[in-house]
């Protein structure tokens, strides 16, 4: 159980495996991760995907910083669900790189995320 950063530790994110340009981050939804409707907070789901983005983008060496991201929520998630965010790199140049992240609970898609990072050489 390796934490990438302090927010990931606070939210219980675990890095499962990583390769160049790829990442898998998982978390179990607990009572403190909910929104007012009693389902996983959109910010929690986003943070999980964003962490997978950061891990994937920083796998290449030069510091990568997110500049924009978008998320489409497809299904609510509940306490006890284990979410897995899987990042894949879809493009990379010297200056920017883009990633698609899928967040799933089991085989069900919970959210689809895209993000672009600036790379500092």
Residues that bind a copy of itself (CB under 8 A): 4-11, 31-37, 41-44, 46-48, 50-51, 54, 58, 63, 65-76, 90-91, 95-96, 98, 100, 109, 112, 114-116, 118
Nearest-approach distance from CB 22 to a copy of itself, in angstroms: 16
Measured from the CB atom, the residue of 21 and 73 that comes closer to a copy of itself is 73
On whether the CB atoms of residues 19 and 87 are closer than 8 A, the answer is no
Residues paired with 25 in a beta bridge: 15, 85
- What is the maximum alpha-carbon separation in the chain? 43
Nearest-approach distance from CB 120 to a copy of itself, in angstroms: 9
- Distance (Å, whole) CA 42 – CA 22: 23
On whether the CB atoms of residues 104 and 110 are closer than 8 A, the answer is yes
Nearest-approach distance from CB 24 to a copy of itself, in angstroms: 16
């Amino acid at each position: 159980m390796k934490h990438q950063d302090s927010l990931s530790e606070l939210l219980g994110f675990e890095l499962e495996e990583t390769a160049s340009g790829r990442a898998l981050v998982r978390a179990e939804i607990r009572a403190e991760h909910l929104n007012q409707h009693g389902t996983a907070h959109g910010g929690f789901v986003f943070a999980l995907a964003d962490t997978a983005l950061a891990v994937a983008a920083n796998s290449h060496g030069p510091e990568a910083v997110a500049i924009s991201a978008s998320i489409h929520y497809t299904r609510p998630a509940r306490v006890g669900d284990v979410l897995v965010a899987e990042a894949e790199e879809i493009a990379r140049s010297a200056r920017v790189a883009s990633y698609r992240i899928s967040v799933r609970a089991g085989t069900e898609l919970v959210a689809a995320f895209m993000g672009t990072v600036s790379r500092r050489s």
